[in-house]
Amino acid sequence: MANGEKPKQKMEFTIIRDNPTAGHKGFGIGSISLENVSPVMIDVEEELAQVEIGALHARSKTERGVKFTPDRKDSEGGKPYWLVWVAIDYKEDGPYYAGVTAAEMVVNREKRRGYKNLPEHVNLLDKALKRHVIVDKMDDRSKKVLAEFLQEQNPELWERSHQLQEALGVIG
């Protein structure tokens, strides 16, 4: 840098683990832990679900290289996706899928544009962390893909997730 200037330090988002205030006096008070939440991306057309950890920072493989706007017209002709926030919690008989919420996305790779309602994505992440199950906007095909994916990931968690099974239209 010229004239002895120091480069500006980048402000980076940090996931705070466990007790956010441990050893930091007042720092981090009011922060939330994202330790037990995972973003699952569902490709509606391909009927494929996979965990994309980068989505916690809006930098998943699906989102990279795309400029997102809240206007659906910008991504017209794009591919539909669901970003599903999955939070795990523990009850007496063991861990289960406690909070599951789904947010819509559209990605048009040709135009390098996408649609997503960022405030909705953030609010749904918060709802998943608060143990809500909100999947009512998902189409039946995507619900089936999500149910099969979560069953395959961990059958024991799935068996204890009665509220989620009901919301996805899967019995037992």
DSSP string, 92-157: TTEEEEEEEEEEEEEEETTTTEEEE-HHHHHHHHHHHHTT-EE-TTS-HHHHHHHHHHHHHH-HHH
DSSP helix/strand/coil, 3: helix
Does residue 115 fall inside a structural domain? Answer: yes
pLDDT above 60 for 39: yes
Supply the range of the domain harboring residue 64. Answer: 36-168
Residue 21 covered by a domain: no
- Residue-wise pLDDT tens digits, 143-169: 999 999 999 999 999 999 999 999 999
Euclidean distance between CA atoms 94 and 101, whole angstroms? 21
**Rounded distance, CA 157 to CA 89, Å?**
10
pLDDT in tens, 41-73: 999 999 999 999 988 888 899 999 999 999 999
Is residue 3, in this structure, part of any structural domain at all?
no
| Residue 111, in any domain of the structure | yes
More confident residue, 36 or 144: 144
Least confident of 1-5, 11-15, 90-94, 146-150: 11-15
pLDDT interval class at 99 (50, 70, 90):
very high
Answer yes or no: are the C-beta atoms of 68 and 60 closer than 8 Å. Answer: no
Would you say residue 12 lies in a domain? Answer: no
Residue 116 lies in a domain: yes
In a domain, 131, yes or no: yes
Q: Residues with Cβ < 8 Å from 148, sequence gap 6 or more?
A: 49
Return the pLDDT at 170: 82
161, 168 contact by CB (below 8 A): no
CA 137 to CA 166: how far, in whole Å? 15
Structure confidence at residue 10 as a pLDDT band (50, 70, 90): very low
Burial of 3 (0-12, 13-18, 19+ CB in 10 A): exposed
Categorize the per-residue pLDDT at 8 as very low, low, confident or very high, splitting at 50, 70 and 90: low
Element (H, E) at 166: helix 162-167
Q: What is the mean pLDDT of the chain?
A: 85
> What's residue 36's pLDDT?
80
What is the pTM assigned to this prediction?
0.79
The number of distinct structural domains making up the chain is: 1
Nearest CA among 172, 14, 105, 16 for reference residue 164: 172
The type of residue at 2 is: A
Does residue 119 surpass a pLDDT of 90? yes
